[in-house]
Amino acid sequence: MPSRPLHFTKMHGTGNDYVYVDLSREVIDEPARVARLVSDRHRGIGSDGLILVEPLGADDEAEIRMRMFNADGSEAEMCGNGIRCVTKFALDRGLAPGPTLRVATGAGVLEIEAHHDDGLVVAATVDMGRANTTCASVDAMIPGLEPSASTIGIDLDLNRFLPEHADRLRALGVDTVCSLVSLGNPHIVFWCDRPESIDLSAVGPDIENHPWFPQRINVHFVHVSAPDRVSMHTWERGSGVTLACGTGASAVCAAGALERRTAESITARLPGGGLQLRHDRERGHVLMRGPAVEVFRGEIDLARLEESS
């Protein structure tokens, strides 16, 4: 890896933090490797991953392309908190005219409306697209369910699914009826009394890497405190415990509405803060609004970082 400074910006959406790089200024040949280096919270910059921002041409379907790499170097299709920060990154720097933005992601082109204060983007509303709810769309291979089967309100046998954790999860009030939702990336939503009591570091990896989910899966434990309010804790595929997950909160919104556990519009409280979400039952889309915050800008020598890692 050549010794040269990499210019970056550290940003977060509801505590879900990433290192952002402008590909119109920088060249990154090995993004998976760079993601692992910069994400290290002890020897690197510290983040949940790396997001690359690439301005596109006038004839393209979108103004900006984003690629998102988890802390372990794996590439994910989309990041809900990340795309809000991409909007701030692009519009604050004049990489696109705004105030709306079309961003090309691994989950397709998404449209974002920016919200400004004193000329800078402080929040954004994202049309997260359609919430898909079949085994095939979630990349789930669950015994007894066909690829076309619905994944909303399915009753999992915890003894078969997670035998090592089944007794503990039941004791903590985890409902065996759960939902799987894809918003470009896959999520499983469990309902429980106290999400904060779940040992995510113990159960998260086993669910993420379960053989029923060949592409791995994001894991959420959720409590419905009122029809329009939920609290949730997340184990993110490729990153582990995280303060927030925008696609995950969107999946929770869709699952809650379709299972009729919640209203169509909810506030999701995550360890990193709150997100506002609305499930459009007619279109099947989820709209998400939340903050986008720049933490700092800097430069780092990747070759030296690699030597010290």
Instruction: Please provide the average confidence, as pLDDT, over all residues in the chain.
Output: 95
Q: How far apart are CA 171 and CA 189, in angstroms?
A: 18
Q: What is the CA radius of gyration of the chain?
A: 19
- Asked if the structure places residue 107 within a domain, the reply is yes
Q: Are 93 and 73 in contact (CB under 8 A)?
A: no
Contacts of 160 (CB under 8 A, 6+ apart): none
With beta carbons less than 8 A apart as the criterion, state whether 27 and 18 touch.
Answer: no
In a shared domain, residues 121 and 201: no
Specify the CATH number for the domain of residue 113. 3.10.310.10
Residue listed under structure tokens 């894809």: 182
| Mean pLDDT for the stretch of residues 137-151 | 97
| Residues 302, 277 within the same domain | no
Task: Report yes or no on 139 lying in a domain.
Answer: no
227-245, pLDDT tens digit by residue?
999 999 999 999 999 999 9
113-135 pLDDT, tens digit each: 999 999 999 999 999 999 999 99
What's the structural domain count of the chain?
2
- Asked if residue 267 and residue 175 are part of one domain, the reply reads yes
Residue for token pair 């004839």: 59
Answer whether residue 148 is part of any domain: no
In a domain, 144, yes or no: no
Q: What percent of the chain has pLDDT over 90?
A: 93
What is the spatial distance between Cα 154 and Cα 165, in angstroms, rounded to a whole number? 19
Q: Which residue has the tokens 């803060």?
A: 273
Identify whether the C-beta of residue 37 lies closer than 8 Å to the C-beta of residue 266. no
Q: Is residue 136 part of a domain?
A: no
Q: In the predicted model, is pLDDT for residue 96 greater than 70?
A: yes
* Single pTM value for the model: 0.92
39-73 exposure pattern, b = at least 16 Cβ within 10 A, e = fewer:
bbeeebbebbbbbbbbbbeeeeebbbbbbbbbbeb
Residue pair 151/177 in contact (Cβ under 8 Å)? The answer is no
Residues 239 and 271 in one domain: yes
Q: How large is the average pLDDT for residues 69-95?
A: 96
Residue 119 shares a structural domain with residue 168: no
pLDDT at residue 309, rounded to an integer: 72
Domain carrying residue 251 = 154-283
- Residues with a catalytic annotation lie at 79, 245
User: 158 and 278: one domain?
Assistant: yes
d(CA 96, CA 232): 34
pLDDT of res. 120: 96
- Model confidence pLDDT, tens digit, residues 283-292: 999 999 999 9
- For residue 198, is it within any domain? yes
The verdict on 90 and 201 lying in the same domain is: no
Host H or E run for residue 304: helix 302-308
